[in-house]
């Protein structure tokens, strides 16, 4: 049974059990029902409820189960779902909902030093792009408080809410809450926490856990007497991140003394801590790297991985992918890890297989970090690897390109051809029947391109050995794929151009219409959000390659829903035709992103203020030159918030 407190939280969050019964909810929580057996609605309802209960201080399951079992399953089914890509909402507190002064995001997470190293590489790239010496950068490590995120602007106090809008809980300060360490008000983001030792001694009798206690401090209009006392005793405080004990130093030192530094910072405070936060301190890098809707790219949380296991490798099987890359699939002795049965692991490429000795008999440490197929964390006992000499599909010679082995057969490697066809029908998503077995049979009958498939009629299928019923069904399904409407970006993504997954196709088609994308220049692609120079080059080459097939299929008359274009019609955009200059550090995203958006809305964006400038948009830490110039020319100055208001965001 759910407790009364839990029921109360669900009621306040406006969550009802629609797809699950209470019994099933609890059965899932106790893992008596496997997550894979849930349909999408049930899985999502379970996650929503777990999240609300967690935020309300009455968690139903452990964090590890939440992250590695349920969110991992959701991520596998719907990688773009808002629970994966945005800040998870919290909505259980009494008080007025208000816009937050700055956006409060979640954090990106890493569970191994190698993931931290990849993050540092992204910082290095940003430093290179800005001509800043990477070695001169200061990294900062602080404890990751496991309390309640809140923001103190000096006057008002807010919960994190959904990251954009929080709840005004200024009353908590009015009730006597202090800032940790005799700190002053107005230090920005932090967490409401309670001392561990104090909790054990005075509060554990009345509250299940610290989270439960912290939630009660925020949630209740009338404080419980022990909570009131804890505030008086300054055991429960607001701890601004700016006041946290920190390690600071260069990347070289951090990488060298990683374990030691993490351990020291992890234990630097007497509060519940669920990791450490690593971030870069240089404002230029922060602005340059910006943020996703979920986290700042210049910050990352390092958490301990609870789900690791040591297993023996049975064999490493080469598989040829759609692009001809040979992927090593590592098969291991089956093992259960945080609830799931694992039988295989990913090694990124054959270079890694060779370097690390990933061969039959080797013992490896697996970590399940949010992905369904676990990563190889460490090779404990290496073994001689088996390197494939030929493509496992067509027997052609293999060549190395960088870290990867490739099949040299670009025309009729069965694996490449079949995977491309399969990919096409799967991504379209408006048909059934073209799975691996069907496609293999077509391949054997010399039907090896998608346009040829669309020319087949029922008797052609029958002649290839498909039964009469299946043959008719295949023809019906082809017809259905042509007449059932799909988004144009989905259609484009089905061609499997390297780097043009669903997301990038949608971005591209928000600016250009379908056939015209084939005549775009590299500059035009680079100008779009998310397309760097290197990507643009690869995308152009990829588009060239599919153009003939695309034209043939496009002519068949698929029913495509056009993506809504980003450009607003002039007159409707409040900044169309206006001349803008952006300066300073922006809080709501990177300056580059804002500039791109402004351009897409029809504004001209310059770098210097002149008599022609309409608006100067200022972030934080603005130099005097631009401000003086604006004053001199009578240019209207807008704060970041005023600007976002103006464009209606």
Among 91, 214, 393, 613, binds Zn ion (CB under 5 A): 393
Indicate the residue among 228 and 386 with the shorter CB distance to Zn ion.
386
- Whole-angstrom Cα distance, residue 553 to residue 559? 12
- Is 278 a residue that touches Zn ion (CB under 5 A)? no
Among 203, 235, 244, 618, binds ligand NAD (CB under 6 A): 244
- Is 192 a residue that touches ligand NAD (CB under 6 A)? no
Contact 332, 359 (CB under 8 A): no
Instruction: Provide Rg for the chain, Cα atoms.
Output: 28
Among 5, 85, 97, 106, binds ligand NAD (CB under 6 A): 106
Indicate the residue among 407 and 508 with the shorter CB distance to Zn ion.
407
207 contact choice in Zn ion, ligand NAD, none (CB below 5 to 8 Å, kind-dependent): none
- Single out the segment in contact with ligand NAD by CB under 6 A; choices: 46-54, 198-206, 402-410, 608-616: 46-54
- Is 391 a residue that touches Zn ion (CB under 5 A)? yes
Contacting ligand NAD within 271-300 (CB under 6 A): 277
- Single out the segment in contact with ligand NAD by CB under 6 A; choices: 53-61, 129-137, 372-380, 518-526: 53-61
61 contact choice in Zn ion, ligand NAD, none (CB below 5 to 8 Å, kind-dependent): ligand NAD
Binding letters toward Zn ion, positions 412-441, x by CB under 5 A: -x----------------------------
- Is 262 a residue that touches ligand NAD (CB under 6 A)? no
- Single out the segment in contact with ligand NAD by CB under 6 A; choices: 142-150, 282-290, 553-561, 622-630: 142-150
Helices 40-55, 4-12: axis angle to 10 degrees equals: 110
528 contact choice in Zn ion, ligand NAD, none (CB below 5 to 8 Å, kind-dependent): none
- Whole-angstrom Cα distance, residue 428 to residue 482? 10
- Is 442 a residue that touches ligand NAD (CB under 6 A)? no
Cβ neighbors of 299 (< 8 A, separation 6 or more) are 107, 108, 277, 278, 279, 280
Cβ neighbors of 11 (< 8 A, separation 6 or more) are none
Q: How far is the CB of 414 from Zn ion (least distance, A)?
A: 7
H helix or E strand, kind and range, residue 453: helix 450-454
- Is 167 a residue that touches ligand NAD (CB under 6 A)? no
- Residue 361 half-sphere exposure, CB side, CA atoms within 13 Å? 5
Tokens 């719907």 sit at which residue? 78
- Whole-angstrom Cα distance, residue 156 to residue 186? 9
- Single out the segment in contact with ligand NAD by CB under 6 A; choices: 56-64, 95-103, 409-417, 524-532: 56-64
Q: How far is the CB of 16 from ligand NAD (least distance, A)?
A: 18
Best CA proximity match to 88, nearest among 8, 163, 13: 163
Q: Is 554 annotated as a binding residue?
A: no
Q: Is 293 annotated as a binding residue?
A: no
CA angle 618, 620, 623 (to 5 degrees): 75
Q: Is 66 annotated as a binding residue?
A: yes
Cα of 217 vs its chain's centroid, Å: 31
Among 35, 45, 67, 422, binds ligand NAD (CB under 6 A): 67
- Whole-angstrom Cα distance, residue 547 to residue 560? 17
- Whole-angstrom Cα distance, residue 414 to residue 399? 18
Indicate the residue among 85 and 396 with the shorter CB distance to Zn ion.
396
Give the three-state DSSP class for 15.
Answer: coil
- Single out the segment in contact with ligand NAD by CB under 6 A; choices: 63-71, 339-347, 358-366, 479-487: 63-71
Other Cβ atoms less than 10 A from the Cβ of 623: the count is 10
Among 214, 216, 369, 409, binds Zn ion (CB under 5 A): 409
- Whole-angstrom Cα distance, residue 149 to residue 163? 10
391 contact choice in ligand NAD, Zn ion, none (CB below 5 to 8 Å, kind-dependent): Zn ion
Q: Is 67 annotated as a binding residue?
A: yes
- Whole-angstrom Cα distance, residue 408 to residue 401? 11
- Whole-angstrom Cα distance, residue 244 to residue 180? 9
For 480-508, letters b (16+ CB in 10 Å) and e give ebbeeebbbbbbbbbbbbeebebebbbbb
Best CA proximity match to 122, nearest among 302, 252, 286: 286
> Residues forming the annotated binding site for Zn(2+)?
391, 394, 413
> Residues forming the annotated binding site for NAD(+)?
63-67, 106-107, 160, 191, 303
Residue ranges binding ligand NAD (CB under 6 A): 50-51, 54, 59-63, 66-67, 87-88, 104, 106-107, 142-145, 149, 160, 191, 241, 244, 277, 301
Residue ranges binding Zn ion (CB under 5 A): 391, 393-394, 396, 407, 409, 413
């Amino acid at each position: 049974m759910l407790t009364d407190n839990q029921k109360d939280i669900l009621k306040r969050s406006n969550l009802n059990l629609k797809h699950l019964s209470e019994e099933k909810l609890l059965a899932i929580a106790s893992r008596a029902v496997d997550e894979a057996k849930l349909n999408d609605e049930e899985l999502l309802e379970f996650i929503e409820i777990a999240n609300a209960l967690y935020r309300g201080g009455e968690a139903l399951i452990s964090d590890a189960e939440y992250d590695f079992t349920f969110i991992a399953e959701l991520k596998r089914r719907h990688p773009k779902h808002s629970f994966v890509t945005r800040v998870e909402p919290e909505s259980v507190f009494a008080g007025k909902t208000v816009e937050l002064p700055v956006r409060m995001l979640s954090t990106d997470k890493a569970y191994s030093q190698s993931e931290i190293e990849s993050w540092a590489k992204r910082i290095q790239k940003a430093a290179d792009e800005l001509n800043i010496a990477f070695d001169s950068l200061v990294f900062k490590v602080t404890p990751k408080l496991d309390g309640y995120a809140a923001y103190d602007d000096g006057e008002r106090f807010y919960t994190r809410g959904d990251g954009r809008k929080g709840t005004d809980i200024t009353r908590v300060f009015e009730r006597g809450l202090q800032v940790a360490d005799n700190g002053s008000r107005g230090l920005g983001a932090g967490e409401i926490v309670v001392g561990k030792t104090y909790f054990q001694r005075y509060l554990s009798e009345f509250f299940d856990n610290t989270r439960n206690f912290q939630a009660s401090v925020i949630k209740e209009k009338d404080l419980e007497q022990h909570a009131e006392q804890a505030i008086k005793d300054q055991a429960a405080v607001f701890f601004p991140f700016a006041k946290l004990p920190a390690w600071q130093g260069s990347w070289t030192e951090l990488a060298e003394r990683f374990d030691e530094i993490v351990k020291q910072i992890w234990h630097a405070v007497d509060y519940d801590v669920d990791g450490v936060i690593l971030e870069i301190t240089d404002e230029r890098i922060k602005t340059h790297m910006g943020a996703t809707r979920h986290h700042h790219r210049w910050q990352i949380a390092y958490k301990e991985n609870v789900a690791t296991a040591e297993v023996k490798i049975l064999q490493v099987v080469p598989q040829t992918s759609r692009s001809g890359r040979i992927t090593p699939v590592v098969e291991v002795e089956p093992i259960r890890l945080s609830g799931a049965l694992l039988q295989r692991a990913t090694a990124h490429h054959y270079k890694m297989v060779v370097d690390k000795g990933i061969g039959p008999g080797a013992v490896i440490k697996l970590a399940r970090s949010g992905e369904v197929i676990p990563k190889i964390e460490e090779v404990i006992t290496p073994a001689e690897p088996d390197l494939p000499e030929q493509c496992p599909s067509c027997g052609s010679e293999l060549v190395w390109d960088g870290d990867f082995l490739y099949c040299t057969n670009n025309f009729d490697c069965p694996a490449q051809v079949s995977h491309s066809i399969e990919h096409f029908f799967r991504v379209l998503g408006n048909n059934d029947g073209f799975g691996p077995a069907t496609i293999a049979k077509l391949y054997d009958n010399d039907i090896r391109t998608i346009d040829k498939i669309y020319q087949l009629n029922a008797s052609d299928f029958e002649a290839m050995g498909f039964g009469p019923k299946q043959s008719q069904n295949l023809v019906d399904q082809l017809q259905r794929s042509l007449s059932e409407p799909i988004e144009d970006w989905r259609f484009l993504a089905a061609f499997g151009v390297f780097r043009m997954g669903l997301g990038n196709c949608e971005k591209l088609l928000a600016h250009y219409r379908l056939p015209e994308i084939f005549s775009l220049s590299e500059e035009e692609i680079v100008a779009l959000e998310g397309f760097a120079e290197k990507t643009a080059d690869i995308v152009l080459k990829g588009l060239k390659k599919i153009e003939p097939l695309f034209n043939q299929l496009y002519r068949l008359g698929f029913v495509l829903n056009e993506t809504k274009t980003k450009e607003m019609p002039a007159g409707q955009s409040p900044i169309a035709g206006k001349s803008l200059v952006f300066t300073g550090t922006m809080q709501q995203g990177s300056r580059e992103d804002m500039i791109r958006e402004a351009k897409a809305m029809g504004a001209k964006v310059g770098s210097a203020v002149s008599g022609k400038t309409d608006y100067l948009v200022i972030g934080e830490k603005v130099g005097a030159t631009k401000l003086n110039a604006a004053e001199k020319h009578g240019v209207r100055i807008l704060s970041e918030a005023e600007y976002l208001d103006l464009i209606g965001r």
